[in-house]
Each structure stands twice: as structure tokens, then as C-alpha cells.
Chain A
Amino acid sequence: MLRALTFLLGLAAAAASAQDGEWRMPAKDYASLRYSELAEIDASNASKLREVWNFTTGVQAGHEAAPLAAAGLLYVVTPYPNHVFALDFSGKVVWKFDPKTKPSSQGVACCDVVNRGMFYEGGRLYFNTLDGQAIALDAKSGKELWRTKLANIDVGETITMAPFVAKGKVLVGNSGGELGVRGWLVALDAKSGKELWRAYSTGPDKDVLIGRRFKPHYSGDQGKDLGVKSWPGEAWKIGGGTVWGWISYDPQTNLVFYGTGNPGPWNPEQRPGDNKWTAGIFARDLDSGEARWFYQFSPHDEHDYDAVNENLLLELDVRGVKRKVLVRPERNGYVYVMDRATGEVLSATPYVHITTSLGVDLTSGRLIYNPKTQPKVGTTVRNICPASPGAKDWQPSAYSPRTGLLYIPHQNLCQDTGTYEASYIAGTPYVGADVLMKPGPGGHRGEFTAWDPVAAKKVWALKENFPVWSGALVTAGDVVFFGTMDGFFKAVDANSGKLLWQFKTSSGIIGQPIAFRGANGKQHVAVLSGVGGWAGVTVSQEVDTRDGTVGLGFANAMRDLPKYTVKGGMLHVFALP
């Protein structure tokens, strides 16, 4: 309890009480804690959990979404074809919606045809389709209220992220950074779907919505039109920086926080410069979209370290002073604790084995790259750690104000880039890096880490055979839930990491678990199984593992996954007897 008092949770707790027992957005709250205040399930009884029902989605690709629980119903969105189901608390289908997503969008998406979830707000459900549309539904009836086409699949754009809704605005960004897409985030009017503002991740200040109020903390981010000047020629026009991850919102300052993807689609030698504003984080005014600050986690990224991970808004004691911070377990391998108002990095501490960089210079804010592991044409570079999916990819962590710990699902992968091999697409032979991913130190490919962001140290960690590609959930019962790619849904003690219970699902889990008050007002826990995603393409897309470089190099590290699991989406709902 002392810890709980020390680590005060400000706005999130206030927001949470209003929706007690519901789960309206993938991250549960604007602060992105993925913390449920429900406490019926605890360390003393979690072993008695059982599946009360399940529901097959009929879709085979990777299921990364969080189900939602609101207004007495559960809602599920599937990967392509992006079917939406409303289910009652007994598992009966109340309505189904088919957005008729274009089949051709499947050939455009880079890493399986995933969808990361929906957003419930004011009796409406908001979600995005792989072929680039944002759609609003009436949550009771499933009737379509509006749809807005945002992304153009013909130029390689798709949408995989969950929308974020606050103050009558729906925020949506694009995917497709590998394909010469220019990243953006748009705000739509929640009532009509009309576009209110659009902020690009590259290009002149006016396109990036950088104006007088933009006050980045570090000098490297200050200057006019850096989104043009930090690129050669016109490379910014196709420079990536797509927005396909998570958004947080601080109502007190009216700021939204989100990350931008890696620069692309060039070979890194062809795009000298910091390549702003890719691989970093923006703080923007929700109403106008104006940028207030930016910080670049990976300037001139050479390792595919998209910076789209979740941003947890906390109040923490930092060197004896209570501060409003943003905590970000980043793909480049560091947990960043940043000042939420200014973007100043207060600490950046490795949570995995890192060889690509030597640390973060807190004076300049810059990541210090290790020259020995920078990829170079024609040379073999071994033991690049973390591998391209990063220390942690999209899979979101959770934070408990009771334990003061951050629960991080992540990878333990390194890679070798070998001689360059010939490949071929759309009539054009090209030469790609021959990337082979492999387990990092210890030989296991995944880990689930409990991290103390104040002490900046690991408290406990669980080794997993496969990358932990599911989201995390922590509850007021001090139980942490996550799933594994070989198909175990696990409950562990939030303080010790001790395994309390596990349930075998037929397909592996890459979805985001939630807790809600279900039938009879009892606490329930739900998660989608259905392996896939970038990590799971060896199963969901049946890629040929004889060529380890397919799946953008991931297949090599996942050759044995098909021995453990099969594909197929299913919603599982658990409760105590």
C-alpha cells in the first residue's frame, strides 16, 4: 500500500471511475495504463479461473485487437476482412457488421493483415479498415453512421491502428512506411467523419503543423522546416514516419502523444540526415493539431525501429520530486521516462540486451549509435540487438498504480544482416538485406518484464520460448495477464511474477487482454487468440520457412511455431466459478 500511495495516479484514476467495469478503448484509459480497478480475481483465487464461453470469429489471420466491453455488450473487430461483432455477456451474437474491406488491401499490408482494435465513445463504435477507411457504427444496432476514406491502398497505404477518440475528435494514422508512404495523423469530427486537421510526419512545417507554439526541448529538433532539411532532396515526400501505433491524451494540458514510424523506403545510405520527424514522438494540441514538442528516439534510423509504441502518462517521484511524466518502453531497447510537458528525457535505461547503441546522451537527448553494428552494403554484420521488430514492437505494456510497476511484453531477438540477396517485385529485380533473426542472449525469444520506472530497474522477468506478442493487463487484484504465441493465456502475481494460472488456447495469442464486469456483475477477463502478426506469419500466412529471410527476416526465428499452434481467431471469456 505504501507503494500505491507513493506512486500517485492522477487523471487516469479519475477517468477510470466513470467507466467502472467497462473497457471502452484498447488501453482502457486516456493515460494508456491498461489497469483494471476490478479486484475480485486475485492471487488467492486466480487458479480457479475457467473459460465460461468462447466465440469463433471465422477469420484466420493474426488477431491483435482488444475486445471492448461497454453498455452491456462485448465488441470484437477481426483482422482483414475487419468484421465487427457485438456479443451479449453469454456470447450470443447481437449484430454483425461487414465493412466490405477491399481484398486487394491484403497484398499491400507488410506484416499480416492485422487490426489493433476499436474505440467506444458515447454509444458509438469507431474502427478502421485495412483498405484505409475510418467507420463509425451505432453500438446498439451496428448501423453504419459514417465512413471516411483516408488512406490510398494504390500507393501502399493501409490502416491497422485502433482509432483514438477524445473531445469529439477521432484520431487515425496510416501504415505502409516500407512502401514509400508519407506518414500522417488526421483528426475527424466524431459526429460527421469530416476531416478537421491533418499533421504529416515529414515535410515543411506547415504540413507538419509546426508553428509558434512548437517548443522542442533539444536543440537538434529546433529550426525551420527540419522535416525537409534533414532529408536529401525530395526524399521526405516518401519518407515514411507512418502512424500505426498508440495515442495517449492528457486532458489537463489538452495534449495528445503518439509516435512515428521508421524512415523509408530507402537504403539508409541514400537518406543521410536525421530524417525528421520519423522514429520519434509528437505532443500535439488536440483541438488544432499544432505540434508542441517532439523527441526523436532513433534519428536516422537504420534498424527499422519504428517509434510507435504506447505512451503511459504517470506521475512519478523522479529524484525526490513528483513529476508528470510519459513512460515509453521503446523499440530501440530503452525505457524512457520523459517530462510530459516539455519532452525532456529524464532517464533512458536499457531493458534488453542492446548492441546497436551505447546509451542516450541526456544533455543532447541523442541516441549514441554503435558504429560496429550499423548495416552497410556488402558487409556482414552479426549480432544486431535488438532485431528489427525491436526490443518491443506494438504490443502494449500495462502499469499498476498499486505496485508501481510497468509490465512489458517483449522480444529477446537479435539479427545478422548477411550478404545482400536478389529479390523481385512487380517486374523489378532489387537487392535486399539478407536478414536472419535469432534468439538473443539466453536462447529464449520472448520475455515478460516487470519494470520499476522510478528505480529504472527490472524487478522480475519471465522467459518465454516465443516473443511475447500479446498486450498486457494488470488489475487491482494484483494479477497480471498476458498471452503467448504458443497458446497459453497466463495469470501471474503482479508483485512476484509467480504463475497463478494458465489456459491453453488452440491458436497462439497476440491479442490484448481486458477485464470487465460481465454477467451477474462478476469480474471477467477476455482475450482474442489467433496467432499471426509479423512474428506469427509462419503460421497465419503459412510462409515457407525454408527461406529464413521471408516475413522481412522473421521467419528464421519462428520456424518451429507451426509445431505449437494453428491459426484461427477466437474470443475467450474467463471468470471465477
Chain B
Amino acid sequence: MFSRCLSLLLVCGSAMAADLRVCAEPDNLPFSHENQSGFENRIAQLLSAELDARLIYEWQPQRRGFVRKTLGSDLCDAWMGVPAGFERVMTTKPYYRSTYVFVYGKRPLQSFDSPDLAAMRIGVQLPGNDGAATPAGYALAAKGAVQNVRGYPIYGEQPAAERIVEAIARGELDAGVVWGPAAGFFARTKHLDVAPARAPAELASMPFEFAIAIGVKRGNNQLRDRLDAAIARRKSDIDAVLDEYAVPRVP
């Protein structure tokens, strides 16, 4: 029974502390870092404390096949920060909702309908999957902005969002359209502005906002339910962490 306590979170009484094994990226700020300085690390800390569980990390890059190689091979119980409804896992209730945002320097860019769009040098993240793009990538193409758009592959020395923000700060780009949490965090350090990006009329159904949740292995309803309850109880603490990291949120 004892080993069962360890492997199946919280099937035993709270007197016997269980483990919450979290898979996280070792170097992907502001989300997570192996020195536990990311906001997902902070939120995982809050939730494990709430569950009276010992927090254990399995550091894995969140690359192709990450679900199969982690939750799928029972390396961990949970992945922080996956989109609600992400098919490869079972997800908790979302703990925040963010949006793609425009990041810009001296020359404001706040809409895909801007007459300046095609002339501006704009950076976007490239997810690395044939024919796939961020919503921003589709929107720029739909608006005919292709000549001055620059792609930043997710794979690389620093987070793509950080490279984009630094390029704006250096004046090599005029703007970027970047996933909110990373944009907010890096833009603040460079004193750049951000504004939520809304889908252009041509792509009205393209999602720019994503609700973010915790992923657990399909079938692990018990853990999901307990995490849901913990998220609800620590809502204001979670919000405070997200504020601290300048994560743009939408209702």
C-alpha cells in the first residue's frame, strides 16, 4: 500500500505526504526554469502546498512528443500550462486565460487592420510543424503582410519571444505578435508596450485567446478533481503570481 501512496497522488490520508510529480521545461522563462523561477513553478508550488504534497520536478523540454514521453511513460503526474481541452491529455479547469498580443516600440501597432501593417517589420513565433502557424502567422498572411514578417523558430538558444522582444528593443523589428505570457514578461524588462491582438475579419474564427490549464494523464480523474479544487481555493494567490510576471489576461 505504501508504494501505491507514492505513485497515486493522495489516495492515502494527508498524514502521509504524497508526491506531486510535475513535468516542466528546464529553460523556458517566464513559464518554467530548473531554478524554479518561472510562474508555472510558483503556481505548482502553491498547488502542491494546498494538496499537502511534496513537489517533485521531472525536467523535460516541451518538444514534439512531450506528452507521450512524460505523462505517457509515467514520468510525472502533471504538466503545468497546457491549453484547456488539449487533446493529448485530460485538463483541469483553466487557471488563467491569455491572448496573443502586439508588442511594439516607438511605432504603435494595435490591429491587423492597421494601414502600416505590410510596411512594418514584424516578428512572430514559429511552432515548427509543417504548414502550422501561430494565429498571428495566419492573420498576417491573410492581410498580405508577408514581405517584412520574420519568423522565430521555437527551437533555439533563447525563447523565441525573448528574441523577438530584444529585436524590437534594438530597432531591428518594429513589432511582434507574440503569445501573451511571454510577451508581457519580456516586454516589461525592455519597456515596450503590449496590446491584445484580435482576429481580423477575414479570419473571424481563428482563436487568439487560449485558456490555460494543467494536464494530467487521461483517466486520472482523481488528481484532476483535486487540482480543480486547489486551483479554486488558491485563485487569488495564482492571480498575484500572474500579476507579478505581467501575464496579460482576458476574461
Where the two chains meet, the residues of A that have a C-beta atom closer than 8 Å to any C-beta of B are: 104, 107-108, 110, 154-156, 177-180, 232-235, 238, 262, 264-272, 302, 304, 375, 377-378, 388, 420-433, 541-544, 547, 550, 552
Contact = CB atoms under 8 A, between A and B. Distances in A.
Nearest to A157: B155
B159 interface: yes
Contact of B132 (A107, A423, A544, A547): A423
Interface stretch (B11-19, B78-86, B103-111, B190-198): B78-86
Contacts of A422: 83, 85-86, 207, 210
Given A428-B179, A432-B131, 7 more contacts: A107-B64, A377-B206, A378-B206, A426-B62, A430-B129, A431-B206, A431-B207
Interface string B94-135: 000000000000000000000000000000011111111111
14 contacts: A108-B64, A232-B147, A233-B148, A238-B153, A269-B138, A272-B146, A377-B206, A422-B83, A424-B82, A426-B25, A427-B179, A428-B160, A430-B134, A552-B130
Nearest to B84: A422
Contact of A265 (B64, B148, B151, B205): B151
B131 A302 contact: yes
Contact of B130 (A272, A388, A428): A388
Which interface residue of A267, A304, A421, A429 has the most chain B CB atoms within 10 A? A429
B149 A425 contact: no
B88 A550 contact: yes
Nearest to B121: A233
Nearest to B156: A155
A210 B222 CA distance: 62
A234 B150 contact: yes
B243 to A, nearest CB: 19
B57 interface: no
A178 B210 contact: no
Contact of A543 (B68, B127, B129, B148): B68
Given A179-B155, A267-B141, A422-B207, A304 B129 contact: no
Contacts of A238: 126, 151, 153
B160 A265 contact: no
Nearest to A375: B131
Given A266-B151, A422-B207, A156 B128 contact: yes
Given A304-B131, A433-B132, A154 B157 contact: yes
B182 interface: yes
Given A155-B156, A431-B206, A235 B127 contact: no
A178 B151 CA distance: 13
A233 B146 contact: yes
B142 A269 contact: yes
B142 A425 contact: no
Q: Which 5 A-B pairs have the closest CB atoms?
A: A180-B153, A432-B132, A269-B141, A430-B127, A267-B133
Which interface residue of A104, A110, A422 has the most chain B CB atoms within 10 A? A422
B151 A235 contact: yes
B203 A377 contact: yes
B203 A180 contact: no
Contacts of A425: 62-64, 66, 127-129, 154
A182 to B, nearest CB: 10
B130 A304 contact: yes
A426 B27 CA distance: 10
B184 to A, nearest CB: 13
